[in-house]
C-alpha cells in the first residue's frame, strides 16, 4: 500500500507554489542564519538485527554525543503499515535494542510512542509488526500518539494551531527512530519526516491531511522546528527501503545505523549513504536554520559514509536526487 | 462478551459524562459518541448528551475535545445518536445543517497539459465528489464521509429536503468511486502514481456501513472482499467494524466475539457492543430509529 497522503495535481501545484515560496523564505533565512557549528553524526556498520545490536547502539549514542542520563525518553519509531513482504517499519528488534541501550546509559525512563498515518488501530498494527513480541512489557511502555491528550505546540499558519500529544511534550528527550527509506512525495523519509507520527490523528485524521495541505516539506520543517531542541535520531538503516517508498518499495540491505543529535545533519548523512544528494532534497534545503547539510559542518564519526554508500533505487520522479 | 464490554464501557464513563479513548483519559468526542451509541437507550447516554450540549460550537459542529475547540468529524456520530434516540432538537438541526454545508476541498483534477501529455494521474479519483473531510478545508476521505452519510440518511425522514438528498447521493457516489481493485476500501485512495492500492479491513467495513441499504455489483464485491478480510481473522477495530457491517447487510458469517479487556480502546469496546446480535447496529442502520 503506498503512502498516498495527498490529494491531487491541484494540490501538487499548490504545494509546489507553497514549497517554492517557503524555499525562497528559507533561502532568505539561510543568508541570515547559515549553520556554522560542526555537528557530530556517527555511522556504524550493522549487518543484522540479531547480533549484539544493543551494544552497537550504545556505542553509536555515545560516539554521537547524545546525552541520556537521567532523562525521560520517548522513542518514536516509524510504524506505518505491516507487510511480511517488505520492510516498512522500524524493526521491532531495533526498537528493543535502543531501549535497552538507553537504559544502560542511565536514562530515567524509556517509553515508546507512535501515531500511524493510515491505520486506525495502532495497537493491532504494533502487534502485527512484532512489537509486542520484541519489546518486553510493550503494552506498559507504549502510548498511541494518535489518541493521547493534546496541548498546543505551535501554529500551522492558515490551518490554525499545531496540537501535539502530551507524551511528546512531556518527554525530556525524543529519539526519532526512522527507517531509512525513499519517499514518493518527499524524496526520502528519515528522522525529520518521521515526526509526522507525533501529530495526533484524533484531531487531524487518517491521513493527517492538514499536513499535506500545509505542504509536505513545510510540515516536515515545521515539526522539526517545533521539536528539534529536544529530539535526536538513531536511524534503522540495517534494512531500508528503496524505490516507491515509504510503503510499496523494496527492502534494501544497507547495513548501517546512523546516530546524531542534529536532525538535518543525520538526514543529510543518510542521504549520502543512500546515494542521494542532500542539497537537492527540498526539506533539507529549507532546514538550513536547523542544522547543516554541507559536509564541512558535519563531523562524520565512525565509518565514512562514502565507504558504505549504496545507491538506493529512485523512482523516475526523484531521479534528479541522485548524487 | 456483550455483558463484559457493557460493564467495561460503563465503568469507564468519566464523571463529566464522556469517555476518553482509554480508561482514565479525559473525554473526547469520538469515544463519547461511539459509547453513547452502544448504550443508546441508557442513562449513561443521556449523561453523555448532556455533556455534549456544552461542546457544540456556534457553527453547529461538536468540538473534538474542549481543549482544541476544533469542529469534529465525529459530529456525524452524535447526530446518529440523536436520531437513534429520536431527539430531533435544535442541537440536532444545527449539527445537521453544518454537515450539509461542509464540503471537502476539490482534489484530483488533471490539467489540460497533463491530459495532452497523457501523464498518469497522481491520484485516480472523481474530483467532483466533494464529500466530507476529516477537518474543514481539506480533502474528502472514506471514514468522515461514511459517518456523514449515515447521519444524513437517518435524519432525512425528519428533515427532508433536496439538498440533504443531494449530499447523501454524493457521499454514496464518493464511497463507490474510491473502491479498490480488490473490492474493498482503504482510507480513500484506490490508485496512485499508476499503482493499485490494497484495501484495509476496517475501512472496507466502514465503507459497507456507509453503503448499507444499497445493492448492486459494487456492494457485492465489497462484501466479498470484507469476507476475505474476515477469513484472515482480524482483531480489534477491524473485527468489531466487520461484524457491524455484516449485520447491517444481512450477511451470514461465522461470528467470533471481540476480545476485550481493561486495555481495549473505548471505540473498539463500543463497536464490539454495537456489533452484538442485539446491539445498536440496528439503530445505526435506521431500523428502529
pLDDT at A25 over 60: no
The single residue listed with the C-alpha cell 538507553 is A102
Per-residue pLDDT band at A36 (split at 50, 70, 90): confident
Q: Which residues contact B116 (CB under 8 A, 6 or more apart)?
A: none
Q: B27 touching A, CB under 8 A?
A: no
Question: B202 to chain A, minimum CA–CA distance in Å?
Answer: 8
Q: Tell me the chain A residues in contact with residue B22 when contact means C-beta distances shorter than 8 Å.
A: 147
Q: Which of residues 250-289 of B touch A (CB under 8 A)?
A: 263, 265, 268
pLDDT at A33: 56
pLDDT at A250 over 90: yes
pLDDT at B120: 64
Report the residue from A1, A210, A317 with minimal CB separation from B138: A210
Identify the closest residue of chain B to A118 by CA–CA distance.
Answer: B187
Distance CA B135, CA B72 (A): 7
Q: Mean of the pLDDT values across residues A177-188?
A: 97
CB atoms within 10 A of CB A137: 8
pLDDT at A153 over 70: yes
pLDDT at A32 over 60: no
pLDDT at B122: 75
Contact A159 B137 (CB under 8 A): yes
Give the CA distances from residue A177 to residues A57, A75, A80, A143, B191, in Å, rounded to whole numbers and listed in that order. 12, 7, 13, 15, 29
Substitution target from A84, A121, A204, A213 for chain B, most B beta carbons within 10 A: A121
Average pLDDT score, chain A: 91
Q: Which of residues 131-190 of B touch A (CB under 8 A)?
A: 133-135, 137-139, 141, 143-144, 186-187, 189
Among residues B237, B236, B209, which one has the least CA distance to residue B222?
B209
pLDDT at A84: 83
Q: Mean of the pLDDT values across residues B203-223?
A: 97
Q: Mean of the pLDDT values across residues B33-45?
A: 97
Q: Do residues A176 and A195 lie in contact, with contact meaning Cβ atoms separated by under 8 Å?
A: yes
pLDDT at B121: 66
DSSP code per residue over chain B: -HHHHHHHHHHT--TTS-B-SSTTPPPBHHHHHHHHHHTTTSHHHHHHHHHHHTTB-TTSPBBSSTTT--B-TTHHHHHHHHHHHT--SHHHHHHHHHHHH--PPP-----HHHHHTTPPPSB-S-TT----BSSTTS-B-HHHHHHHHHHHHHHHHHH--HHHHHHHHHHHHHHHHT--TTS-B-SS-SEETTEEPPPBHHHHHHHHHHTTT--SHHHHHHHHHHHHHHHT---HHHHHHHHHHHHHTT------PPP--TTS-HHHHHHHHHTSTTSTHHHHHTS--
Between residues A3 and A134, the one the model is more confident about: A134
Question: A35 to chain B, minimum CA–CA distance in Å?
Answer: 35
pLDDT at B113: 64
**Greatest CA separation found in chain B?**
62
C-alpha cell at A147: 489518541
pLDDT at B202: 98
Q: Which domains does chain A have, with CATH numbers?
A: 9-321 (3.40.50)
CA of residue B132 relative to chain centroid, distance: 11
The single residue listed with the C-alpha cell 516536515 is A220
pLDDT at A37 over 80: yes
pLDDT at B237: 98
pLDDT at B110: 59
Q: Write down the domain spans for chain B.
A: 2-285
Q: Do residues A41 and A265 lie in contact, with contact meaning Cβ atoms separated by under 8 Å?
A: yes
pLDDT at B22: 97
Q: Which residues contact A128 (CB under 8 A, 6 or more apart)?
A: A82
Q: Do residues B248 and B209 lie in contact, with contact meaning Cβ atoms separated by under 8 Å?
A: yes
pLDDT at B112: 65
Give the A:B interface size as CB pairs under 8 Å: 138
Q: A248 touching B, CB under 8 A?
A: yes
Q: Mean of the pLDDT values across residues B252-272?
A: 96
pLDDT at A256: 98
Q: B28 touching A, CB under 8 A?
A: yes
Q: Which residues contact A316 (CB under 8 A, 6 or more apart)?
A: none
Report the residue from A121, A127, A202 with minimal CB separation from B30: A202
Contact A147 B70 (CB under 8 A): no
CB atoms within 10 A of CB A176: 28
Identify the closest residue of chain B to A211 by CA–CA distance.
Answer: B138
Between residues A21 and A180, the one the model is more confident about: A180
Per-residue pLDDT band at A31 (split at 50, 70, 90): very low
Q: Which residues contact B6 (CB under 8 A, 6 or more apart)?
A: B38, B39, B273
Report the residue from A9, A151, A203 with minimal CB separation from B111: A9
Q: Mean of the pLDDT values across residues A200-206?
A: 97
Q: Tell me the chain B residues in contact with residue A7 when contact means C-beta distances shorter than 8 Å.
A: 105, 107-108, 123, 139
pLDDT at B178: 97
C-alpha cell at A260: 546524531
Identify the closest residue of chain A to B196 by CA–CA distance.
Answer: A1
Per-residue pLDDT band at A11 (split at 50, 70, 90): very low
pLDDT at B192: 87
Is domain B2-285 in CATH 1.50.10.20, yes or no?
Answer: yes
pLDDT at A85: 84
Report the residue from B64, B105, B186 with minimal CB separation from A1: B186
Q: Tell me the chain A residues in contact with residue B33 when contact means C-beta distances shorter than 8 Å.
A: none
Whole-prediction pTM:
0.92
Distance CA B47, CA A113 (A): 32
Average pLDDT score, chain B: 94
Q: How many residues does chain A have?
A: 323
Q: A82 touching B, CB under 8 A?
A: no
pLDDT at A298 over 70: yes
Contact B268 A119 (CB under 8 A): no
Q: B65 touching A, CB under 8 A?
A: yes
pLDDT at A4: 37
C-alpha cell at A293: 547539510
Say whether A201 sits in a helix, a strand or coil. Answer: helix
Q: Do residues A133 and A96 lie in contact, with contact meaning Cβ atoms separated by under 8 Å?
A: no
Using a pLDDT cut of 90, give the percent of chain A over it.
86
Contact B200 A10 (CB under 8 A): no
pLDDT at B149: 98
Say whether A298 sits in a helix, a strand or coil. Answer: strand
Q: Mean of the pLDDT values across residues A193-220?
A: 97
Distance CA A49, CA A26 (A): 39
Q: How far apart, in Å, do the first and last CA atoms of chain A sit?
A: 28
Report the residue from A9, A118, A147 with minimal CB separation from B109: A9
Contact A203 B105 (CB under 8 A): no
The string of pLDDT tens digits covering residues B10-20 is: 999 999 999 99
pLDDT at B106 over 50: yes
Q: Tell me the chain B residues in contact with residue A248 when contact means C-beta distances shorter than 8 Å.
A: 195
Q: Mean of the pLDDT values across residues A71-85?
A: 94
pLDDT at A15: 45
Q: B109 touching A, CB under 8 A?
A: yes
Amino acid at each position: 500500500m503506498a503512502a498516498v497522503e495527498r490529494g491531487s495535481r491541484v494540490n501538487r501545484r499548490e504545494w509546489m507554489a507553497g514549497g517554492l515560496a517557503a524555499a525562497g523564505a528559507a533561502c532568505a533565512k539561510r543568508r541570515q542564519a547559515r549553520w556554522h557549528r560542526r555537528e557530530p553524526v556517527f555511522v556504524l556498520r550493522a549487518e543484522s538485527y540479531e547480533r549484539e545490536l544493543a551494544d552497537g547502539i550504545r556505542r553509536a549514542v555515545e560516539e554521537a554525543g547524545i546525552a541520556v542520563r537521567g532523562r525521560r525518553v520517548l522513542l518514536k519509531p516509524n510504524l506505518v503499515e505491516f507487510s511480511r513482504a517488505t520492510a516498512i517499519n522500524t524493526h521491532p528488534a531495533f526498537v528493543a535494542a535502543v531501549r535497552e541501550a538507553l537504559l544502560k546509559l542511565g536514562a530515567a525512563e524509556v517509553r515508546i510512542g507512535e501515531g500511524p498515518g493510515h491505520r486506525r488501530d495502532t495497537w493491532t498494527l504494533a502487534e502485527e509488526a512484532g512489537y509486542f513480541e520484541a519489546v518486553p512489557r510493550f503494552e506498559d511502555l507504549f502510548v498511541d500518539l494518535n489518541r493521547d491528550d493534546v496541548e498546543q505546540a505551535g501554529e500551522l499558519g492558515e490551518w490554525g494551531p499545531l496540537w501535539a500529544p502530551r507524551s511528546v511534550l512531556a518527554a525530556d528527550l525524543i529519539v526519532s527512530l526512522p527507517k531509512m527509506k525513499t519517499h514518493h512525495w518527499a524524496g526520502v523519509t528519515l528522522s525529520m519526516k518521521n515526526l509526522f507520527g507525533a501529530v495526533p490523528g484524533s484531531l487531524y485524521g487518517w491521513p493527517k491531511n492538514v499536513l499535506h495541505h500545509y505542504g509536505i516539506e513545510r510540515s516536515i520543517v515545521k515539526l522539526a522546528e517545533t521539536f528539534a531542541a529536544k529530539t535526536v535520531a538513531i536511524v534503522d538503516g540495517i534494512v531500508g527501503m528503496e524505490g516507491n517508498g515509504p510503503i510499496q518499495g523494496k527492502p534494501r540491505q544497507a547495513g548501517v545505523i546512523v546516530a546524531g543529535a542534529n536532525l538535518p545533519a543525520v538526514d543529510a548523512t543518510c542521504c549520502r549513504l543512500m546515494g542521494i544528494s542532500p542539497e537537492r532534497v527540498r526539506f533539507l534545503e529549507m532546514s538550513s536554520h536547523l542544522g547543516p547539510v554541507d559536509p564541512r559542518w558535519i563531523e562524520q564519526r565512525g565509518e565514512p559514509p562514502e565507504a558504505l554508500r549504496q545507491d538506493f533505487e529512485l523512482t523516475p520522479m526523484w531521479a534528479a536526487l541522485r548524487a | 462478551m456483550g455483558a463484559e464490554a457493557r460493564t467495561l464501557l460503563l465503568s469507564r464513563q468519566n464523571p463529566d459524562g464522556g469517555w476518553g479513548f482509554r480508561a482514565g483519559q479525559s473525554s473526547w468526542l469520538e469515544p463519547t459518541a461511539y459509547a453513547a451509541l452502544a448504550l443508546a437507550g441508557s442513562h449513561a447516554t443521556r449523561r453523555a448528551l448532556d455533556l455534549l450540549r456544552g461542546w457544540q460550537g456556534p457553527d453547529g459542529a461538536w468540538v473534538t475535545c474542549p481543549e482544541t475547540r476544533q469542529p469534529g468529524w465525529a459530529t456525524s456520530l452524535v447526530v446518529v445518536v440523536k436520531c437513534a434516540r429520536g431527539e430531533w432538537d435544535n442541537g440536532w438541526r444545527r449539527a445537521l445543517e453544518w454537515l450539509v454545508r461542509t464540503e471537502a476541498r476539490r482534489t484530483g483534477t488533471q490539467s489540460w497539459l497533463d491530459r495532452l501529455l497523457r501523464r498518469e494521474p497522481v491520484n485516480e479519483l472523481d474530483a467532483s465528489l466533494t464529500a466530507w473531510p476529516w477537518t474543514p478545508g481539506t480533502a474528502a476521505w472514506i471514514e468522515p464521509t461514511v459517518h456523514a452519510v449515515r447521519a444524513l440518511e437517518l435524519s432525512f425522514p425528519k428533515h427532508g429536503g433536496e439538498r440533504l438528498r443531494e449530499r447523501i447521493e454524493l457521499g454514496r457516489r464518493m464511497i463507490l468511486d474510491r473502491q479498490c481493485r480488490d473490492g474493498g476500501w482503504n482510507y480513500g485512495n484506490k490508485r496512485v502514481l499508476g499503482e493499485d492500492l490494497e484495501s484495509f479491513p476496517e475501512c472496507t467495513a466502514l465503507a459497507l456501513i456507509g453503503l448499507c441499504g444499497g445493492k448492486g455489483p459494487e456492494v457485492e464485491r465489497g462484501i466479498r472482499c470484507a469476507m476475505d478480510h474476515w477469513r484472515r481473522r482480524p482483531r480489534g477495530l477491524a473485527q468489531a467494524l466487520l461484524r457491524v457491517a455484516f449485520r447491517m447487510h444481512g450477511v451470514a458469517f461465522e461470528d467470533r466475539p471481540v476480545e476485550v479487556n481493561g486495555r481495549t480502546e473505548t471505540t473498539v469496546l463500543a463497536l464490539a457492543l454495537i456489533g452484538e446480535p442485539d446491539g445498536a447496529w440496528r439503530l445505526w442502520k435506521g431500523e428502529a430509529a
